[in-house]
Structure 1
Amino acid sequence: MSICLNLRTLLLNFVITLTMLSLSHEARQNLDSPVRAVSLGGWLVTEGWIKPSLFDGIPNKDFLDGTGLQFKSVTTGKYLCAESGGGTILVANRTAASGWETFRLWRLNETTFRFRVFNKQFVGLDGINVVALTNISTDSLTFNIVKESNKSNRVRIKTTSGTYLQAKSEVMVSADISKVSGWRDDDPTVFQLTIGGRMQGEFQVTNGYGPLKAPQVMKDHWNSFIVENDLKMIASKGINALRIPVGWWIASDPTPPSPYVAGSLHALDNAFFWAQKYGLKIIIDLHAAPGSQNGYEHSSSRDTSQEWGKTDENIQQTVNVIEFLAARYAKSPSLYAVELINEPLSPGATLEALNKYYKAGYEAVRKHSKTAYVVLSNRLASSDPREFFPVATGLMKTVIDVHYYSLYESKFDNLTVQQNIDFIQTNRSSDLTFVTTSNGPLTFVGEWVSEWKVNGATKEDYQRFAKAQLDVYGRATFGWSYWTLKNVNNHWSLEWMINNGYIKL
């Protein structure tokens, strides 16, 4: 009898312990209901592919910051190259153009530029020889690109002191001639220009228009791209939350650093007012961190450089942005979550830097809000989707953000409609299950889209593909967010998908 009583007591204690753990976890997360959100991409952080017309009025718009230029000498028949990727001379002896043969623009005005090479040095002179030695932009040369005509790809590269670059030989590139004429095939100052990549982010649009035109252009965009009726519409269609990308410069509004312009903070204020009116939750998403966390245009990199997280000062600057946002909106009933950073790219954004930042960013939010969720984005190109579980575990109301696209990888290139659907139902379901644990952070499919690489897909095919994703991503414990609300590419626009019956929420 004594043994039985002891066993019953042990069993009761075990059940009570499990119940307490379960309740503790439930209380820690305290999720009302999973979010069914849409991202307001392309609004407060520019992405040119979402709204290309925003760039139409920029003078000399072919030459924006970050544009990759490749110059082929008409005399050597070979490309200019920063030897070793930078740190020494320029040569003109490469038969094909890749990273070392690509020069990234820094736009100073409509006609004047600096050139940055693969290893981040800037092009300058050592005597008459053209070199890429300095990492300090202001110590480098500035250039004009002189076109033969708008219909020709032939150009000359002129220094602002009046001399022209010339490929004297395959191993000697100099800037020691000031008088040129014609565009002959035997002229060493003539190059054939190829554009090897463009960027169309917030830096490019504001610096492209310049300080006189950019303020009005961006104000018009912010006031028209997302309006109150958009929120009214999506609230009526079953969406209960907004994921709103913002840039780090918003914390300096109304006097953000050049080339950014004032006004995005006022637009975000409007979004909070409208969201409260229509019962929508808001997830503030730091989409562009200072220095760029991934080198892409959507994080406002100037020239594909990824500088975020390399110093404690940079990390603290980012924490200050989060604290500014948390303090400003903590009392709003619409503030539901703060995403500390979007899509940091491995290995440049290191695990060490992100762990340090995520802890500090979490505390910055908690200074002002005990109820807002704190969202930690997984790294792009990382092999471990649970790598932030150690920092998230034990913190109140944390969420891991994963992004699932059936794009960007070669494995999707030749899949049929059914194979794409099967991938969602099998592989993505497994991926989501792996990051969903009973005692860890909540899971958020923070970006997905009903687009793929299938040619000739029917409306019914798209409906099936969307439904498969909604079914699987609906199991995410925090919820999901479609990318985006508005987009000139129809299937990326949730507004278009809803209005044309391609998706049923």
Structure 2
Amino acid sequence: MLNKYVTAENSGGTNVFANRDNPSGWETFKLWRVNDTFFNLKVVNKQFVGKSSQEGNAIAVATIPGDTETFEIIRSPNDPSNVHLKASNGQFLQAKSGSSVMIDYQGSTDWSDQNPYVFDMTVVSLLPGEKQLQGEYQLTNGYGPENAPQVMQNHWKTYIKEDYFEFMSQNGINAVRIPVGWWIIYDQTPPKPFVGGSLQVLDNAFNWVEKHNIKVIIDLHAVPGSQNGHEHSGTRDGSAEWGDSYIEETVEAIDFLTKRYANKPGLVAMQLMNEPQAQHVPLNTLIKYYQAGYYKVRKYTSTAYAILSNRLGNAVNTELLLFARGLSRSVIDVHYYNLFSDEFEQFNVQQNIDYIKNQRASTLEEITQSNGPVTFVGEWVNEFANREPKSKQDYQKFGKAQLDMYGNATFGWAYWSYKCIHDHWSLKYMIDKGIIKLKKDQSCACVVL
């Protein structure tokens, strides 16, 4: 009715208003799903929208959501972006004036734009390329405790199968990088909403790699609190909160996994963390964790490598070198995608190839030093940011340039992933279609999710 955006004033800690002409941080709310239709609304300062006990004003002060901070989102049958927000007491959120948003309307409702209890709700991008979160947290939370276990069992049975490992072995792939979430250590009774069963899948993988003579890199892909806010990190709402307070719990995961698989001949490396984000993870905190995690690996095995991921974002390429030089059988992991940046949107095929041969070669050479740790291109993919039509020959040339360059990594490389709904993200598709041809003398790996 007011044609204004709802805002949590001062990013939280006080009243909610409807007085902004343009949306930004204060006007953006993260949704925590409770069930199919009920949600909590989280503001920038990590507080939740609820009702004041006295006047009925909408406020954002609670640090832990309860009944007062729980809303049913009721969508218009004619326009799903139009919603009513119904509080747990049966009253509706309404904005009759910009000076206050109230939770006090009760009575009949309709969907006219002139009604103060009708809002327009838009889902906005959290991260580049992510319209909405679709990680394991969202999947298991969305399906709920009754249906999620079966959904995940069906996924594991159809996505991680023995014939995949046989294919890898027959096509020059000598290792597989398997990402796991921290909750795997509580396998049968993990914290909600995660479901049990993933540890058995990892056990199966170790049996299959031994049978087909390939190795395993266990990759702690999702850590408590999330190290980067991406959906594959186990985040609930795009927040990244991993830090000093989570180190002990994260080290426990490394201890559990290494102890369980240290005597398996298939174990070649433990990856201590995937893609920490420089924006969220300070270097000194990361090194403190890497040191503790490294010694947990060494507690159980003197031969398995410990993989240390470089931070993503505004971080120095060589920032882990000095620390890692003192650690035997340590690996520096870098990820190279010609994606996720406006820069690559403008590149044609040859410019992408030149970038691999020049900039990628330079950064890889910088960390690949004779007296330092070995290096690992832990993720790459044969896809372009530029979506203009490209021929099979274009993909072959781009793939060859990457294989040639990433073959210089002294530990090897890993392709994302073995099988994917997006053809060029799938190594199996690349091999089956003759787009990528692997060299038998290259160490390599592929990712299985």
Normalising by structure 2, what TM-score?
0.94
1:60-209 aligned at under 5 Å gives the runs 75-126=1-52, 127=54, 128-138=56-66, 141-149=69-77, 151-197=79-125, 198-209=132-143
> Is residue 420 from structure 1 mapped to residue 352 from structure 2 by the alignment?
yes
Letter in 1 for 2:199: L
Residues 389 and 440, structure 1, Cα contact 8 Å, conserved in 2: yes
Q: In structure 1, which of residues 358, 365, 375 is the aligned counterpart of residue 307 of structure 2?
A: 375
Residues 134 and 140, structure 1, Cα contact 8 Å, conserved in 2: no
Q: Deviations over 1:319-356 (max 9, x none)?
A: 00001000000011100000000001113111121111
Q: Structure 1 runs of 4+ off > 6 angstroms?
A: none
* More off after superposition, 449-458 vs 331-340: 449-458
1:375-394 aligned at under 5 Å gives the runs 375-394=307-326
State the 1:310 CA deviation.
Answer: 3.9
Normalising by structure 1, what TM-score?
0.83
Distance 2:65 2:281 in 1: 24
Distance 1:180 1:493 in 2: 53
Which entry has the higher C-alpha Rg, 1 or 2?
1
Q: Measured at CA, do residues 186 and 263 of structure 1 come closer, stay the same or move farther in structure 2, by a change above 3 Å?
A: same
State the 1:284 CA deviation.
Answer: 0.4
SS in 2 for 1:195: coil
Q: Percent identity?
A: 52
State the 1:150 CA deviation.
Answer: 6.0
Distance 2:159 2:200 in 1: 14
Question: 2:425 — aligned with what?
Answer: 492
Letter in 1 for 2:310: N
Letter in 1 for 2:157: N
Residues 190 and 196, structure 2, Cα contact 8 Å, conserved in 1: yes
Residues 372 and 397, structure 1, Cα contact 8 Å, conserved in 2: yes
State the 1:139 CA deviation.
Answer: 7.5
Distance 1:425 1:348 in 2: 31
1:176-325 aligned at under 5 Å gives the runs 176-197=104-125, 198-311=132-245, 314-325=246-257
> Is residue 356 from structure 1 mapped to residue 356 from structure 2 by the alignment?
no
Distance 1:129 1:180 in 2: 21
State the 1:181 CA deviation.
Answer: 2.3
State the 1:453 CA deviation.
Answer: 2.1
Letter in 2 for 1:99: G
Distance 1:498 1:96 in 2: 49
State the 1:168 CA deviation.
Answer: 1.6
Question: 1:409 — aligned with what?
Answer: 341
SS in 2 for 1:187: coil
* More off after superposition, 275-284 vs 448-457: 448-457
State the 1:370 CA deviation.
Answer: 0.6
Does 1 or 2 have the higher relative contact order (CA < 8 Å, sep 6+)? Answer: 1
State the 1:274 CA deviation.
Answer: 0.3
Question: Which consecutive unaligned segments of at least 5 residues does structure 1 have?
Answer: 1-74
Question: 2:445 — aligned with what?
Answer: none
State the 1:447 CA deviation.
Answer: 0.4
Letter in 2 for 1:202: E
Distance 1:356 1:310 in 2: 9
Letter in 2 for 1:93: N
Residues 68 and 88, structure 2, Cα contact 8 Å, conserved in 1: no
Letter in 1 for 2:104: D
Residues 114 and 140, structure 1, Cα contact 8 Å, conserved in 2: no
State the 1:171 CA deviation.
Answer: 2.0
Q: Measured at CA, do residues 132 and 310 of structure 1 come closer, stay the same or move farther in structure 2, by a change above 3 Å?
A: farther
Question: Which consecutive unaligned segments of at least 5 residues does structure 2 have?
Answer: 126-131, 439-449
Distance 1:453 1:110 in 2: 35
RMSD, aligned CA: 1.2
